[in-house]
């Protein structure tokens, strides 16, 4: 309980700090919306992680591996159906909102919805009639066919909901969006739990169907609520241009995005199937390969990426904020945002990476009763620096109109990942996956950061990077100076020691400047009051 309190407290203070930086001179209500979005994301991730633990006990690591493959196919279909229009709709709505063209916002959303429904219906029909082929050829288990058909039926609703979520984010209507997401997630978990208990039993195929049904039904109702809220929020203002002009504007952004995302999503999906295939070729049995794949994908990464809700919330908020700054030519504001977010983002990434490293073993045993999960979590923990900062960097690039460049980098690294996995997995086994994951994600972040620095003309502070690394390494070393106890004792003691040493070193080394510390100090009383 105390460890959870420390993590949520740290996340709350972090988003409050970023809110002060991002929404400087803005109304307090926008800051409250940013806080709400992050709190909701953290809470939903926490509930989802607990549900994942229960699900792993029920269907095992091999069942989780099968579910991951089904979700990979449906995720690829979702990318095809969305066709890049979510980011395009968010960007156009943010521009219209910055210019106070409310009729243009309504027109952009309606045009984007028609675009998404057309493309998603075509993709959904293809998936529905090709479900058995996909299950046999790609998943390797015909039990997955019914789950894929169900995903296909509800695909248009999911794509429409994504477009509407982009509108609410672009226009700062975070409170309504967060409320719908909470209700949607609760409904999904309740439906899935009921279906798992009363319908699926221990059958892997039915268990996957239960999870899919819970997700798609909740997505449908979530989309319906968002559409009603969208209609009620509209002002009776005429649009300056015609619908055809808006369609051309949306297509100018979405078509190149879609082409790049199709290639990247195809490569990413292929990557998901190459992992169990390559592990089996390396000498492991199919069951052992699916178990290893399920351990990493469904046990380790939910824990590793749990605190990233903070960064993904900021990423979504930075897109419309930077888009408005771009259309208003506020270059100094853009440079200030870049500097502050990169500095503090890297500092907090260091804190999270260090905590994941020192708590890996007790978390793996307490959450999953798996020593392998703890070992993999420790191996992947240094990648927190790259993964979290890449999420924020991508958000900034999209807000600055560099969506195509961002997707291009993702495509390049996904292609490299597929090549490395195909060549190395049969020879090196799971070590090849670790090597490929590290190399490609570092390359992706490096390319994105280079582009961001070039666009904003910001000079990175290299000494700040070394200071954060130093603070993280010394804080981790301090935790291992104490003897091990029970798993709960290890979590509580190491969390307290790490945070204590890390905060002292951050202040003494200059990793956290006086201005950063002052802004955090001012946040404390208000955070306590809330």
- Both tokens of 484, joined, read 């091990």
Q: At CA 237, angle to CA 234 and CA 240, rounded to 5? A: 125
Query: Is-contact 406 460, C-beta < 8 A?
Result: no
Rounded distance between C-alpha atoms, residue 147 and residue 167, angstroms: 30
Question: HSE of 445 in the Cβ direction (CA atoms, 13 Å)?
Answer: 17
What do you get for the CA distance between the two ends of the chain, in Å?
Answer: 20
Query: Is-contact 20 518, C-beta < 8 A?
Result: no
Predicted confidence (pLDDT) per residue in 127-149, tens digit: 899 888 888 877 767 777 888 88
Rounded distance between C-alpha atoms, residue 41 and residue 182, angstroms: 9
Q: What is the pLDDT of residue 37?
A: 59
Task: Name the one residue in this structure whose structure tokens are 């066919």.
Answer: 145
Rounded distance between C-alpha atoms, residue 45 and residue 64, angstroms: 18
Rounded to 10°, the helix 155-170/85-98 angle is 30
Rounded distance between C-alpha atoms, residue 122 and residue 133, angstroms: 17
- Both tokens of 35, joined, read 């806080």
Supply the DSSP symbol for 197.
Answer: I
Rounded distance between C-alpha atoms, residue 246 and residue 110, angstroms: 10
pTM: 0.63
DSSP-assigned letters across all residues of 199-214: IITT-HHHHHHHHHHH
Burial class (CB in 10 A: 0-12, 13-18, 19+), 236: exposed
Closest by CA to 21, choosing from 329, 392, 377, is 392
Torsion-angle region of residue 60: left (phi > 0), alpha (psi -120 to 50) or beta? left
Output the tens digit of pLDDT for each of the chain's 530 residues: 333 333 344 444 444 444 444 444 444 333 445 455 556 666 666 676 677 677 777 766 667 777 777 877 888 888 888 888 887 888 788 777 777 777 788 888 888 899 989 999 999 999 899 888 888 877 767 777 888 888 889 999 989 988 888 888 777 777 778 788 888 888 888 888 888 888 766 676 777 888 888 888 988 998 998 898 888 887 766 666 677 788 888 888 777 777 777 777 777 767 766 776 776 676 666 666 667 767 777 778 888 887 776 666 666 666 667 777 777 777 777 777 777 778 888 888 889 999 999 998 898 888 888 888 888 899 998 988 888 888 888 878 877 777 777 778 877 888 888 888 888 878 877 778 888 888 888 998 888 888 888 888 777 778 888 889 999 999 999 998 888 888 888 889 999 999 999 988 888 887 776 766 565 555 443 433 33
């Amino acid at each position: 309980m105390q460890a959870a309190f420390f993590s949520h407290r740290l996340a709350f203070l972090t988003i409050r700090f970023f809110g002060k930086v991002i929404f400087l001179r803005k109304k307090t209500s926008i800051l409250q919306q940013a806080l709400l979005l992050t709190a909701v994301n953290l809470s939903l991730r926490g509930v989802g992680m607990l549900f994942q633990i229960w699900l792993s006990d029920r269907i095992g690591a091999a069942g989780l591996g099968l579910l991951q493959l089904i979700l990979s196919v449906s995720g690829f279909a979702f990318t095809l159906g969305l066709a890049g229009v979510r980011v395009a709709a968010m960007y156009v709505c943010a521009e219209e909102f910055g210019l106070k063209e409310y009729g243009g916002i309504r027109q952009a959303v309606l045009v984007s919805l028609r675009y998404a429904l057309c493309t998603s219906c075509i993709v959904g029909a293809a998936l529905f009639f090709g479900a058995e082929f996909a299950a046999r050829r790609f998943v390797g288990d015909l039990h997955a066919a019914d789950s894929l058909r169900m995903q296909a039926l509800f695909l248009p609703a999911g794509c429409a909901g994504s477009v509407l979520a982009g509108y609410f984010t672009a226009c700062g209507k975070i409170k309504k969006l967060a409320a719908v997401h909470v209700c949607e997630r609760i409904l999904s978990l309740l439906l899935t739990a009921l279906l798992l208990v009363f319908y699926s039993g221990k059958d892997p195929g039915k268990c996957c169907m239960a999870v899919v049904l819970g997700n798609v039904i909740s997505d449908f109702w979530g989309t319906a609520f968002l559409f009603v809220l969208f209609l009620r929020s509209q002002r009776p203002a005429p649009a300056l241009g015609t619908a055809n002009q808006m369609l051309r504007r949306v297509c100018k952004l979405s078509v190149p995005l879609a082409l790049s995302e199709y290639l990247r999503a195809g490569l990413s999906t292929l990557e998901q199937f190459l992992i169990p295939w390559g592990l089996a070729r390396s000498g492991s049995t199919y069951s052992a390969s699916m178990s290893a794949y399920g351990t990493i994908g469904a046990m380790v990464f939910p824990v590793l990426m749990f605190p990233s809700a903070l960064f993904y919330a900021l990423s979504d908020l930075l897109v419309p904020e930077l888009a408005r700054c771009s259309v208003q030519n506020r270059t100094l504001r853009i440079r200030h945002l870049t500097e502050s977010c990169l500095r503090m983002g890297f500092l907090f990434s260091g804190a999270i990476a260090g905590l994941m490293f020192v708590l890996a073993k007790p978390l793996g045993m307490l959450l999953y009763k798996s020593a392998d999960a703890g070992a993999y979590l420790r191996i992947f923990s240094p990648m927190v620096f790259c993964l979290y900062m890449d999420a924020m960097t991508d958000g900034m690039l999209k807000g600055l109109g560099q969506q195509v460049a961002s997707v291009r980098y993702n495509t390049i690294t996904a292609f490299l990942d597929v090549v490395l996995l195909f060549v190395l997995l049969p020879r090196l086994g799971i070590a090849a996956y670790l090597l490929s994951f590290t190399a490609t994600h570092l390359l992706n972040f490096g390319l994105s950061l280079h582009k961001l620095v070039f666009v904003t003309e910001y000079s990175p502070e290299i000494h700040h990077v070394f200071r954060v690394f130093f603070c993280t390494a010394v804080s981790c070393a301090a935790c291992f100076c104490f003897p091990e106890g029970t798993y709960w004792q290890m979590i509580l003691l190491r969390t307290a020691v790490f945070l204590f040493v890390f905060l002292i070193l951050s202040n003494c080394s200059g990793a956290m400047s006086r201005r950063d510390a002052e802004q955090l100090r001012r946040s404390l009383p208000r955070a306590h009051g809330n």
